[in-house]
Amino acid sequence: MFYEIRTYRLKNGAIPAYLKVVEEEGIAIQKKHLGALIGYFFSEIGPINEIVHIWGFSSLDDRESRRGRLMADPDWQGFLPKIRDLIEVAENKIMKPAAFSPTGGSRPA
């Protein structure tokens, strides 16, 4: 299993507006294509104005295929402008769990 960890730093004060539009429209579109939502978080303490969402994929090919379908969806294309201007910085990581992780994993080669 691979985990995609997407971290967005939003404009100051934009978390409520971002979460509202994602909850009302965006998350359904994402779940339709991406599947396994592990979690969706916002910062309370530490770096402020931060959103983190984590998605699980069976392989990197699975991720690429699912992300491609999401990007091709006209509903997603119509949704993106509603959040684009709220995001200042975006970071993306692909992580694999260690063998002893509660999510299950493997040992590095």
98 in Cβ contact with 13 (< 8 Å): no
Q: What is the pLDDT of residues 41-54, one digit of tens each?
A: 999 888 889 999 99
pLDDT at 105 over 80: no
Domains along the sequence of the chain with CATH: 2-95 (3.30.70.100)
The pLDDT-based confidence of 102 (bands split at 50, 70, 90) is confident
